[in-house]
Amino acid sequence: MSEKNINRRDFLKLAGTAAAVTAVSASGCGDAVKTGSIANTTTSVSQNIPTDKMTYRTNPKTGEKVSILGYGFMRLPTVTNVSARESNDDIDQETVNRLTDYALEHGLNLFDTSPAYCKGFSEHAMGIALSRHPRDKYYISTKLSTFSPQQWTYETSVGMYKNSLKELQTDHIDYLHLHGIGMTAFVDGKQLDGVESLHKRYIDNGVLDFLLKEREAGRIRNLGFSYHGDVKAFDYLVDHHDQYHWDFAMIQMNYVDWRYAKQINPGNTNAEYLYNRLTEKGIPVFVMEPILGGRLAKLPTHLQETLRTRRPESSVASWSFRWIATHPNILTILSGMTYMEHLQDNLSTLCPLDPCTDEEDAILQRVADEFVKFPLVPCTACQYCMPCPYGVDIPTTFTHYNKCVNEGYISVSTQDANFVEARRRFLIGYDRVVEPKRQAAHCIGCGVCQPHCPQNIRIPDKLRDINDYMEKLKQETL
């Protein structure tokens, strides 16, 4: 395997991790407008956000007050107005500065980044934006993102950490994560599971010992880890809490991942388990993916209606933030906010927090039950599965499917009220974006794509499911 390939694979993982940290959807502002029409009022949520009502949580170790909303610097705006994740363009530093200032003004005080984010430019941008403010007004969270086996040496890892300090223009990190605990790797022809990778990345090479010493020296104020993937690695670190004394841990959590993590992504673990284990051990929780990469902001129409009927003036996304924040052991919820509307919507949700009632919790559990019936394919359209040797256009197929799910055009039965429209939209829309000879029916299940998917999507199975669904649409036998 060429070096290039290894790098590519590593980059995939990075992209996968990146996908895990989340953003509020662009619908934030639009929600407010639509809400207005339902509620028969036209109050704009974003205009009246108080600057002194942010909800804070206390770090049990340091006693510091951390804002419940943290700013994720993974989807920074670029000069072409697209999130840096989807574009190769330069980061729009001016806008980043403006967003940072606005966040600080409204009491947000935790900023999260990684050496891997935004093609490696995220820390630099954060350094510029934050160094314009007094260092004691905010907390910096970054990670040791050694994804590639080539970076698993002591020197490279420590070098990455030191470079973070430099890019962030600071002499200490408030929260440092071991990044992507639970990810598996393929080294020297051998598949490593989450625990083996963990050992190779941080333990065997002495990097973790170095970090522990840095914590003693005060250059790392809090040491923790962010987890996704193999749950054995999570359990290993939690089991060794007495040895390492984790100050925090980051997990993927929202009302769907609470009990349906496997339905969202078979490689994931229910947040209920993760949260409860961390709480038992007294480890404060960072949350990523509060709205599943935007999917919980764009629920199928009938689910949106359920939530809007209950709180006509709240965005759909706000429900997830409120639900998460209602859990007492949450230290902060990271959200990758590309646009001001994202930031404003989230601030208005959490300044201050109006906790979820038991009844609302029950509603959200029902929404989650329904949501997993229309499972989206967790495809980020990174294109690494391509080209399929048999010409199938995999990412576009998934994108089209997800679009139909999000817009409420997936039918359960021919008796559905919108069956005819949904059928037209799915079939005509699919022909528009993917020419027939590249559609799902042409997947022979060879599995060449499978190892390339950073989301571990079982691509052939998914394509088969989508084709079966199409067959039912065409034959009207749903």
Partner 1 sequence: MLKKLRTIIGTIFLVCITAMFLDFTGTLHCWLSWMTDLQFLPAVLGLNLAAILIVLALTLLFGRVYCSMICPAGTYQDAVSHVAAKVKKNRFAFLPENKILRFAVLAVFAILLLVGLNGIALLIAPYSAYGRIVQNLLQPIYIGVNNLLAKAAEHYDSYAFYEKEVWIKSLPVFIVAIVTLITFTVLAWRGGRTWCNNICPIGTVLGYLSKLSLFKIRIDASKCINCRLCEKNCKASCIDIDHHTVDYTRCVSCMDCIGKCKKDAISYTTSKSSQSTSSDSPNASLRAMLTTTAALAATSALHAQDKTTDGGLAVIEDKKIPEREIPVKPAGSLSVSSFSNKCTGCQLCVAACPNGVLRPSTKLSTFMQPEMGFEHGYCRPECTKCGEVCPAGAINPITREEKTAIRAGHAVWVKDNCLPQTDGVSCGNCAQHCPSGAITMVPLPDNPKVKIPSIDTERCLGCGACEHLCPVRPFSAIYVEGNLVHGNM
In the bound state with partner 1, the residue whose beta carbon lies nearer, of 45 and 392, is 392
Distance CA 413, CA 473 (A): 9
Cβ neighbours of residue 95 under 8 Å, at least 6 residues apart?
Answer: 77
CB of residue 458 to partner 1, shortest distance in Å: 16
Q: Output DSSP code: residue 454.
A: T
What number of other Cβ atoms are within 10 A of residue 477's Cβ? 8
Q: If binding is defined by CB under 8 A, does position 88 make contact with partner 1?
A: no
What number of other Cβ atoms are within 10 A of residue 445's Cβ? 12
CB of residue 245 to partner 1, shortest distance in Å: 49
In the bound state with partner 1, the residue whose beta carbon lies nearer, of 10 and 393, is 393
* Contact characters 231-270, partner 1, x per CB under 8 A: ----------------------------------------
Interacting positions 365-384 with partner 1 (CB under 8 A): 383
Q: If binding is defined by CB under 8 A, does position 301 make contact with partner 1?
A: no
Alpha helices, H only, 326-393: 340-350, 358-371
**CA 310 → CA 36, 303, 319, distances in Å?**
13, 11, 11
In the bound state with partner 1, the residue whose beta carbon lies nearer, of 313 and 465, is 465
Q: Which stretch binds partner 1 (CB under 8 A): 169-177, 259-267, 369-377, 440-448?
A: 440-448
Q: Check if the beta carbon of residue 412 is closer than 8 Å to that of residue 442.
A: no
Q: Would strands 56-58 and 330-335 be described as parallel, antiparallel, or unpaired?
A: unpaired
Binds partner 1 (CB under 8 A): choice among 102, 386, 465, 478: 386
Expressed in percent and rounded to 5, the helix, strand and coil fractions of the chain are: 50, 15, 35
Q: If binding is defined by CB under 8 A, does position 428 make contact with partner 1?
A: yes
Distance CA 466, CA 350 (A): 38
Distance CA 21, CA 381 (A): 16
Q: Which stretch binds partner 1 (CB under 8 A): 84-92, 217-225, 292-300, 444-452?
A: 444-452
Task: Please tell me whether residue 381 adopts helix, strand or coil conformation.
Answer: coil
**Gyration radius (Cα) of the chain, Å:** 22
CB of residue 406 to partner 1, shortest distance in Å: 14
CB of residue 461 to partner 1, shortest distance in Å: 12
Q: If binding is defined by CB under 8 A, does position 8 make contact with partner 1?
A: no
User: Which tokens belong to 86?
Assistant: 């989807």
Q: If binding is defined by CB under 8 A, does position 154 make contact with partner 1?
A: no
Phi/psi for 398 (5° steps) reads -65, -40
Binds partner 1 (CB under 8 A): choice among 33, 38, 362, 446: 446
Q: Check if the beta carbon of residue 110 is closer than 8 Å to that of residue 138.
A: yes
Q: If binding is defined by CB under 8 A, does position 199 make contact with partner 1?
A: no
Interacting positions 457-476 with partner 1 (CB under 8 A): 464, 474-476
Nearest to 179 by CA among 256, 253, 87, 288: 288
Q: Which stretch binds partner 1 (CB under 8 A): 101-109, 185-193, 222-230, 431-439?
A: 431-439
Q: If binding is defined by CB under 8 A, does position 451 make contact with partner 1?
A: no
Q: Site size for partner 1, by CB under 8 A?
A: 28
CB of residue 475 to partner 1, shortest distance in Å: 4
Task: Please tell me whether residue 392 adopts helix, strand or coil conformation.
Answer: coil
Element (H, E) at 175: strand 173-181
* Contact characters 391-410, partner 1, x per CB under 8 A: x-x-----------------
Q: Which stretch binds partner 1 (CB under 8 A): 111-119, 318-326, 328-336, 389-397?
A: 389-397
Q: If binding is defined by CB under 8 A, does position 442 make contact with partner 1?
A: yes
What number of other Cβ atoms are within 10 A of residue 473's Cβ? 20
Q: If binding is defined by CB under 8 A, does position 421 make contact with partner 1?
A: yes
Q: Would strands 190-192 and 185-187 be described as parallel, antiparallel, or unpaired?
A: antiparallel
CB of residue 81 to partner 1, shortest distance in Å: 21
Q: If binding is defined by CB under 8 A, does position 389 make contact with partner 1?
A: yes
CB of residue 390 to partner 1, shortest distance in Å: 5
CB of residue 235 to partner 1, shortest distance in Å: 36
In the bound state with partner 1, the residue whose beta carbon lies nearer, of 415 and 475, is 475
Binds partner 1 (CB under 8 A): choice among 438, 450, 461, 469: 438
In the bound state with partner 1, the residue whose beta carbon lies nearer, of 317 and 392, is 392
Nearest to 130 by CA among 119, 141, 116, 115: 141
Binds partner 1 (CB under 8 A): choice among 153, 373, 444, 451: 444
C-alpha dihedral over 137, 317, 369, 414, to 10 degrees?
-160
Question: Any idea which residue has 């998917």 for tokens?
Answer: 453
Q: Check if the beta carbon of residue 290 is closer than 8 Å to that of residue 6.
A: no
Binding site for partner 1 (CB under 8 A): 383, 386-391, 393, 421, 424-425, 428-429, 431-432, 436-438, 441-446, 464, 474-476
